[in-house]
Amino acid sequence: MIAEIICIGNELLTGLIENSNSSYLTQKLQSAGIQVGEMAIVADSQEAIARVLNNALKKCDLVLITGGLGPTDDDLTREAVSAAIKKPLILDHQYLDELKTLFRNRGFTMTDNNCKQAQIIEGSIMLKNEIGTAPGAIIEEQGKIIVLLPGPPHEMQQMFDHYVLPVLRNRIDDRVYLVKTLKCIGIGESLLEAKIKSLGNWKYHPISYIARGMEVDLQIKGTGNDQKARAEIAEAEKMLRNLLGKHIFGDNEQTLVSTVADLLKARTLSLAVAESCSGGLLSDLITNQPGSSDYFKGGVVAYSDEAKKNILGLSKTILFNEGPVSAAAAKAMAENVCKIFNADYGIAITGLAGPTGDGSGQPIGTVFIAIANVPDGQFQEKKFLFSGNRRTIKERAVQQALNIMRLMLIN
Amino acid sequence: MIAEIICIGNELLTGLIENSNSSYLTQKLQSAGIQVGEMAIVADSQEAIARVLNNALKKCDLVLITGGLGPTDDDLTREAVSAAIKKPLILDHQYLDELKTLFRNRGFTMTDNNCKQAQIIEGSIMLKNEIGTAPGAIIEEQGKIIVLLPGPPHEMQQMFDHYVLPVLRNRIDDRVYLVKTLKCIGIGESLLEAKIKSLGNWKYHPISYIARGMEVDLQIKGTGNDQKARAEIAEAEKMLRNLLGKHIFGDNEQTLVSTVADLLKARTLSLAVAESCSGGLLSDLITNQPGSSDYFKGGVVAYSDEAKKNILGLSKTILFNEGPVSAAAAKAMAENVCKIFNADYGIAITGLAGPTGDGSGQPIGTVFIAIANVPDGQFQEKKFLFSGNRRTIKERAVQQALNIMRLMLIN
């Protein structure tokens, strides 16, 4: 079963309001095994809604429409659907009476436009709105299902979960569609694809590749009945894990920083960080994890040479001969921050995030990352040249630092 | 000029990824006077992309397509647009050479599928991608404009701002729709609205209120020709600035942190920060500003008591009698970080971001913020109780700290 979601409302076309209804519905549909083929956001225009609905009915089995069911003049979904499928709107006297009672009980004045909400499309099933006054509807039209849902997220979610999902589940039987994400780092999108192609005939669903900075998400899919879908995903996952090894750092909700956090916790190791060009971003990401105080001792953002000297104890020799953006500076920062905070591991990031350089002649994007475990005498250092703007360089530096840390912890 | 935005990608139809591109583009287009009439999210399917593009071309003047320009087999936007408008794809040898050089310089292997990115639609203008390898394009087709942009938000934003927006601005005549945002802090959304209503009849376009954490954006609008629109906005802005005074900290692209940065730079003052519960977020925000090394000396993320004692020099009396989450601790952190970094101002944030407390009995969300100018003997301290999850508490603490800093600098 393929679904299309149509969200109605001028306010959704301002870029200022997050359209949470579409992501809510997509996730719910997907976990019920229904694939969303397309989504549209449409203005409060009867003509536009009818046009988009007619296009959708040509290519999918299920159309979910949110919004435009309210009482005001710009609420036009009912009228548009009625016109599109050529079925008249009729007044539901019973619901009109309920509405009148509701308004009376709440001490509100019922205006004429509220009566609009008691109009239903001929042959449709009315869906109760437990929170607001706009009812929804399920309409069957030439073997296709059209669902009308209110726009306010709470009302929409309640109605969908209670009245729509059970109806849909009854229709789906054995046709689920499951997705699992494997998260990779240290390998580019195109090389990843080439490697996967080298496996020969990929007999599973096509993989989706999603690049995020230095990371690439691989989405694998499974269909059929639940058991078959899970088995397909498990097989595909096994092949990819064998092929990609340590390039895969996690799956689904896991992140690079949560993976590192889990590794540190499991080994009861602690961490401190010395940041120059990344400016606190690494500390910020680490401390977004609940419970990070168990393993994170703290950090120094040494944004000036003065701070590198006075707080991180970098020698004049390093600062003047090697420079603050150098392998030697990164090493000293990592080792010293490890000692100062009495931590097991010290991570150091120093580089040039731009837009201007430091006069040393090194290009913008040059970043040195060093990680030291002083108690154990472990040490790693790497030099990178990142492209992008200031923020991108900060993000990439932090991703690489976390990945080096991860690899040191699993090796 | 009416625009339609089409975002391509199976991953956008999973409900798991926020489609930030559409809201970014909508806001930018709107502030340039271009209205977005419709939006669609389409799977990685050549047929679907071509169909949606053809529908869009029937009803609007400008179509922006994001995503599907990468090197992998599921990147099909170029092919789909070529098929939809019946113009062939041709290989741009010059760009292919550039790509080869780029891969060589970075020491990466260039696979065959990377060559796809050097294909352009006949008659189109290629748009440089400053961050990644997928170029964009501007295509003129029967008086309509089609713009192809990469999917990764940083790449898309950079390309749109630098190469697309100037072209669009040139095309817009006298029917502009301008938006200006005034940014407020220290006053809630409903109180703001009540204050503005107290002005009496508001003869301008209705104001939009957008709450973001502790901040509220006010959007004022102007229409007509450029001069009329600008005059309307200027009048409305003047009234609001008179009414709201210091609650307005900036406009449009300005942020709280850029405002503070500008104030520090104008007065050649420097800053250092001591963060406990905010965990580096304040440093991170400050160092996102280009040129922040002019006034930002650095910071300490003192996430453990040990770090508060050893690095920030908090006395045992403060740590054990008052506790690390106390007014006394915040004061000592602010003063000491100011001295250690030899800065004019020291900002300190200490509190409980949750999810678990520190055993002191203070509720989650308790945050002490202190700002000291040791050379001048200035000092301010405030206690807050923020609601929300860990990340929200971090963000609110940092917003309040920046606002206290701003008010100290302008008073």
Domains in chain A and their CATH numbers? 2-172 (3.40.980.10), 176-251 (3.30.70.2860), 266-410 (3.90.950.20)
Q: Taking CA atoms, what residue in A is nearest to B51?
A: A55
Tokens of A14: 């301002």
Residue B303 — pLDDT band, cuts 50, 70, 90? very high
Nearest to A284 among B26, B131, B281 (CB): B281
The answer to whether residues B305 and B346 touch, using CB atoms and an 8 Å cutoff, is no
DSSP A292-351: GGGTEEEEEEE-SHHHHHHTT---HIIIIII-SSSHHHHHHHHHHHHHHTT-SEEEEEEE
Cβ-proximal residues to A51 (8 Å cutoff; 6+ apart), any chain: none
Q: Spell out the SS3 assignment of A204-256.
A: CCCCEEEEECCEEEEEEEEEECHHHHHHHHHHHHHHHHHHHHHHEEEECCCCH
Neighboring chain A residues of B15 at a CB cutoff of 8 Å: 22-27, 30, 36
pLDDT of residue B175: 63
Question: What is the residue-level pLDDT of chain A in tens, covering all 411 positions?
Answer: 899 999 998 878 877 677 889 989 998 898 788 889 999 999 989 999 999 999 999 989 999 999 999 887 788 999 999 999 999 999 999 999 988 888 888 777 777 778 888 999 998 999 998 888 889 999 998 889 999 999 988 889 999 999 999 888 877 766 677 889 999 999 988 899 999 999 988 899 888 888 888 899 998 988 888 888 899 999 999 999 999 999 999 998 899 999 999 999 999 999 999 999 999 999 999 999 999 999 999 999 999 999 999 999 999 999 999 999 999 999 999 999 999 999 999 999 999 998 888 888 999 999 999 999 999 999 999 999 998 899 999 999 999 999 999 999 998
CB within 8 Å: A300 and B304 = no
**Where would I find the H helices in B107-225?**
153-159, 165-171, 189-197
pLDDT of residue B219: 85
What DSSP state is assigned to residue A150? -
Residue A58 region, left (φ>0) first, then alpha (ψ -120 to 50), else beta?
alpha
pLDDT of residue B18: 77
The answer to whether residues B213 and B230 touch, using CB atoms and an 8 Å cutoff, is no
How far apart are the C-alpha atoms of A131 and A153, rounded to whole Å? 11
Pairing of strands A366-373, A345-351: antiparallel
DSSP A106-137: HTPPPPGGGGGGGEEETTPEEE--SSSS--EE
pLDDT of residue A169: 81
CB within 8 Å: B306 and A297 = yes
Cβ under 8 Å to B: A residues 209-228: 209-212, 217, 219
pTM of the complete model: 0.76
Residue B67 — pLDDT band, cuts 50, 70, 90? very high
Q: Which of A4, A16, A183, A214 is best to mutate for the B interface (most B CBs within 10 A)?
A: A16
pLDDT of residue A58: 92
**Where would I find the H helices in B219-377?**
226-244, 256-266, 281-287, 305-310, 316, 327-340
Cβ atoms within 10 Å, residue A376: 10
Decide: residue A133, CB within 10 A, 0-12 exposed, 13-18 middle, 19+ buried. Answer: buried
Chain A within 8 Å of B36 (Cβ-Cβ)?
yes
Pairing of strands A144-149, A136-141: antiparallel
Residue that the structure tokens 């069911």 belong to:
A69
Stretch (H or E) spanning A78: helix A77-85
Min CA distance, A384 vs chain B (Å)? 10
Decide: residue A125, CB within 10 A, 0-12 exposed, 13-18 middle, 19+ buried. Answer: middle
Cβ-proximal residues to B30 (8 Å cutoff; 6+ apart), any chain: A14, A15, B36, B177, B179
Min CA distance, B330 vs chain A (Å)? 16
Candidate from A395-404, B26-35, B86-95 with smallest mean pLDDT = B26-35
How far apart are the C-alpha atoms of B114 and B144, rounded to whole Å? 30
Min CA distance, A153 vs chain B (Å)? 15
- pLDDT reading at B377 higher than 70: yes
Tokens of B117: 């990115």
Higher pLDDT, B206 or B86: B86
Nearest to A38 among B24, B48, B292 (CB): B48
CB within 8 Å: B74 and A211 = no
Cβ atoms within 10 Å, residue B287: 28
Neighboring chain A residues of B219 at a CB cutoff of 8 Å: 16
Chain B within 8 Å of A36 (Cβ-Cβ)?
yes
Considering only CA atoms, which of A338, A332, A304 is closest in space to residue A318?
A332
Neighboring chain A residues of B52 at a CB cutoff of 8 Å: 38
Residue A147: φ, ψ to 5°: -120, 130
Considering only CA atoms, which of A245, A278, A221 is closest in space to residue A30?
A221
Stretch (H or E) spanning A140: strand A136-141
Neighboring chain B residues of A396 at a CB cutoff of 8 Å: none
Query: CA torsion sign, B403 to B405 to B408 to B410?
Result: negative
The identity of residue B70, as a single letter, is: G
User: For the segment B169-204, what is each residue's pLDDT rounded down to a tens digit?
Assistant: 877 755 667 788 899 999 887 788 889 988 988 899
How far apart are the C-alpha atoms of A287 and B100, rounded to whole Å? 40
pLDDT of residue A242: 96
Candidate from A265-279, B93-107, B135-149 with smallest mean pLDDT = B93-107
Min CA distance, A234 vs chain B (Å)? 19
Cα distance from N-terminal residue to C-terminal residue, chain B: 45
User: For the segment B14-25, what is each residue's pLDDT rounded down to a tens digit?
Assistant: 877 778 899 999
So what's the ipTM on this one? Answer: 0.76
Chain A within 8 Å of B74 (Cβ-Cβ)?
yes
Angle at A124 between CA A123 and CA A129, to 5 degrees: 150
pLDDT of residue B173: 58
How big is the A-B interface in CB pairs under 8 Å? 274
How far apart are the C-alpha atoms of A88 and B33, rounded to whole Å? 39
pLDDT of residue B193: 84
Cβ-proximal residues to B245 (8 Å cutoff; 6+ apart), any chain: none
How far apart are the C-alpha atoms of A23 and A295, rounded to whole Å? 35
CB within 8 Å: B306 and A341 = yes
Nearest to B131 among A194, A293, A388 (CB): A388
